[in-house]
Amino acid sequence: MRFIDLQTQYETYKEEMDRAIAEVLASCQFINGPQVAKLESTLAHYVGVREAVGFSSGTDSLLAVLMAWSIGPGDEVITSPFTFFSTAEVIALLGAKPVFVDVRDDTLNMDPHQVEAAITPRTRAIMPVSIFGQCADMTSIHAIAKKHDLSCLEDGCQSFGGTHHGRRSCGLSHAGATSFFPAKALGGYGDGGMVFTDDADLALQLKSIREHGQKVRYHHMRLGMNGRLDTLQAAVLLVKFAHFEDEIKQRQRIARYYLDHLPAGVRGPVVLAENQSVYSQFTIRIARRDQVQAALQQEGIPTAIHYPVPLHHQPAFANIIDKSTLPIATRAAQEVLSLPMHPFLTVEQQDRILDALARAVAQHG
């Protein structure tokens, strides 16, 4: 059994995929080929924004937006401690300070009620993370950003395709960024990412930043990076995107089945009424998580921990925040366990997982 089954996905789309990749190889337009612009316009339309700019990763997408906003030393950016490292890494890379506010206990997304208290005269932006496939409370957070004249960037690296009040993740604030890392709900065959925005000026700056700050070739107006999305990845993503809506439905069906059959003592993921999750992860919460994970491993059930260390406990941030704060994120890191989740998971496999989980919980829970 696989935690994420990219092999079955490839076998299922093999003909289209091989053709799309062969087209790129035949064209030899590996950089800025037509597939990149096609993917950008296709996904901008899907998200419901005017502009999309492809990048070499989700991390570079987030970094480029903060660069375009000239965030740097002396600035603060409010974000979540319960996320992948790069959310706060990009803030600190630019010399700014990540300011963590705790998450809600039900969704593990940023708690909007704590945001205003964290705003100081140095605050420049708020960076909510939409974790496990479900949007953060973007309505409240974007409203706080507007009220205080701050920029708002949604880290939608896990939530692409998810909706909040019927609108798509990444299109809910000034800018949203996603990742096409292979394990994401919409993943390529390597690294990739994209920024979405209605701000035409921001999009222009992002296009310059991803090519070393140039406006015209070899004329550099500012510092940028080598941050382009490969043509090959764009071609792969166009093939996968054609199946994405079906895959989301499968993920939601699989999540429903898990939720209906979780053993007692296991907390399933909570999705709020205004949200639809893409379940990029199906993450349960459980006492004695490590023992349960080991018992599942013994039975051949692969699991993962997203994430074992909250960001305010990461050695890289040891000098900026008191470890004893943020109790909800701290406890969640000890309880979370992600079960196998991908669109090709069968009911038989889910039953095996659920049976093993019930046994593990009875023994250790």
Ligand X SMILES: *Cc1c(COP(=O)(O)O)cnc(C)c1O
3-class DSSP string for 238-267: HHHHCCHHHHHHHHHHHHHHHHHHCCCCCE
Among 81-89, 134-142, 268-276, 342-350, the segment contacting ligand X (CB under 6 A): 81-89
- Please give the Cα distance from 85 to 46 (Å, whole number): 28
282 contacts ligand X (rule: CB under 6 A): no
- CA–CA distance, 109 with 111 (Å, rounded to integer): 6
Q: Closer to ligand X at the Cβ: 96 or 262? A: 96
Q: Which is nearer to ligand X, 159 or 208 (CB)?
A: 159
Q: Looking at beta carbons only, is 56 or 197 nearer to ligand X? A: 56
- For residue 274 the two structure tokens come to 């205004």
- By the 8 A CB rule, do 251 and 269 touch? no
- In the complex, the smallest distance separating the C-beta of residue 253 from ligand X, rounded to whole angstroms, is 23
CA 338 to CA 322: how far, in whole Å? 28
Counting contacts by CB under 6 A, is residue 80 touching ligand X?
A: no
| Interacting span for ligand X (CB under 6 A) from 55-63, 66-74, 165-173, 350-358 | 55-63
Under rule CB under 6 A, residue 307 binds ligand X: no
Beta strand extents in 39-118 (DSSP E only): 51-55, 76-79, 97-100
Rule CB under 6 A: say whether 155 interacts with ligand X. yes
CB-wise, 9 or 56, nearer to ligand X?
56
Which one of 9, 57, 277, 330 is in contact with ligand X (CB under 6 A)? Answer: 57
- Provide the 8-state DSSP code for 190: S
Contacts of 110 (CB under 8 A, 6+ apart): 79, 80, 101, 103, 104, 128, 129, 136, 137, 141
CB neighbour class for 272 (10 Å; exposed up to 12, middle 13-18, buried from 19): middle
Joined tokens for residue 103: 């998450």
Cis omega (within 30 of 0) on the bond before 307? yes
Residue 84 interacts with ligand X (CB under 6 A): yes or no: yes
107 binds ligand X (CB under 6 A): no
Nearest in space to 184 (alpha carbons), one of 172, 170, 197, 174: 170
Min CB(85)–ligand X separation in Å: 8
Least distance CB 156 / ligand X (angstroms): 8
Contacting ligand X within 168-207 (CB under 6 A) = 179, 181, 191, 193
Shortest CB 89 distance to ligand X, Å: 9
- Choosing from 79, 87, 123, 163, the residue that interacts with ligand X (CB under 6 A) is 87
- Given 54, 58, 171, 176, the residue binding ligand X (CB under 6 A): 58
**Quick one: which of 284, 280, 308 has its CA closest to 296?**
284
Exactly one of 9, 79, 83, 275 binds ligand X (CB under 6 A); that residue is 83
Q: Which region among 80-88, 112-120, 270-278, 318-326 touches ligand X (by CB under 6 A)?
A: 80-88
Residues 112-151 that bind ligand X (CB under 6 A): 129
Binding site for ligand X (CB under 6 A): 57-59, 83-84, 86-87, 129, 155, 157-158, 179, 181, 191, 193
